[in-house]
A and B are shown apart, each in its own frame.
Chain A
Amino acid sequence: MSSALILSNVSRSFGETHAVDNVSISIEPGQFIGVIGRSGAGKSTLLRLLNRLVDPTAGSISFGDTNITALKGKALRHWRRDCAMIFQQFNLVDRLDVLTNVLIGRLAEHGVLSSMTMQFSDEERAMAIRALDRLDLVPQALQRAGTLSGGQQQRVAIAKALVQRPKIMLADEPIASLDPANATLVMDGLKRINREDGITVLVNLHTLDTARAYSDRIIAMRQGRVYFDGTPAQLTDDVVRDIYGLDGLQEFNAAVTSTSVHASVPA
């Protein structure tokens, strides 16, 4: 049923900059993958390439028998539904209520008429409320999304991704603008979805210890290329120093960038 997501020699350049440079990786279903690297290393572009918000300049992406890079129109929209995306700035519609924001995750299934009139079925509303319940947000369901805190908004975004019934969930620095407590809630939510629903999760992260604590596999990018691909245990301090180019710093400690509230992080 579920198949591997395979990137073969994928590149994307913006003018002279090679944001993603000849990347080949294979992602098995059900994995929790942390993507790390300096700002501008190509992490965001990599995620955007996967759900085709950005098109590659070279190479191809495939999922099972489907060539993702060739998808168009309805097939492309269905791929985006299957490959849900969560953003650093949440990208919710502030002036719509939380429930409608979650129901946006159902739009790929709708025709023009029901979508333009914002008509959703009872089943879809039930699905949305169940998704909100998993993230403890039912009391806020009828509030405007803009009135929620950052952490709550990010969980709304996760609920929206859930009702897409995706096979893969991409999260582009989902905790970068959150405080430690909310960051933990969001990461725990992603981990639970990964474990309970078997959804593949790819998360871009700035904080090393978060990546270590939550990921089964860590991919590190440097200047658009995959510099490291392995388990958290294989990610030694020497490798980290190379990834972040910390040659100047004598001592390096992940706790400096930590967003964790616990001394020991939950698995």
Chain B
Amino acid sequence: MSYKPQNNRAWLGVLPVLLIVAFSAVVPLMTVINYSVQDILDFNTRFFVGFEWYVQTLNDERFIEAFGRQLAFSFTVLALEIPLGIAVARGIPKNSRLTPLILIVLALPLLIPWNVVGTIWQIFARSDIGLLGVAINAMGISYNYTSEPLHAWLTLVAMDVWHWTSLVALLAFAGLTAIPQPYYQAAELDGASSWQVLRYVELPRLRGVLIIAVLLRLMDSFMIYTEPFVLTGGGPGNTTTFLSQYLATMAVGQFDLGPAAAFSVIYFLFILLFCWLFYQSVVKRDEETP
């Protein structure tokens, strides 16, 4: 990393970003915090209630259940997407005429509106008209994701893997192409197996991009809303209701301003914690590699 001169006038360049982010993030966030400590009956009648909503939210059984489901979902999809993404990336030829085509096909799911992703999987997995649903039933397994919680879960996970593994694969591929060829030649001379190449040559060099991949997927799976909203609507029952959906129901559906705001703050703080860990690891890496 080259030497950067100190220059406080650089603030001028950052100013526009500050203004726009202040408008689209700071003002709303302040509003949320403000609501979270008040009991709002209507817009003229409000009382200060301190941390009451926070206590209530943390003791709310539905919140805890949604939180648990959220953790289970996020870690399941991560455990599937990261290894699969790396495996897929290792299979992409590096300098072939097919490479750009493969990359474009891989990028496709990332560019589809999230509700369309839900719709695609809805029509793909339905047991009456869907290719997948009909195929599974034809194999003699009774499958119906709209009535069976387990099937709904499996379908959601399959959908998320379909939707996001490409991101991991593209990141990992970018990391793999950055590994100098002599590394591979040296490994070959040593008679390293494919597995050893992965373990001792590739994975250490992929650390940086994998940190990005893991944390992007962790954040985004934590915020997941649209796809389950379209595919299962949070059901059957509440079995696929995750945090965002519960929050959206509370804020816009029921207009419970105070509790919804306290929920928001807790939700955001949790994600912030991840974000901080992420930033720490990136900064550390930048300092290690001059």
Q: Do A and B come from one complex?
A: no
- Partner-A contacts on B (CB < 8 A): none
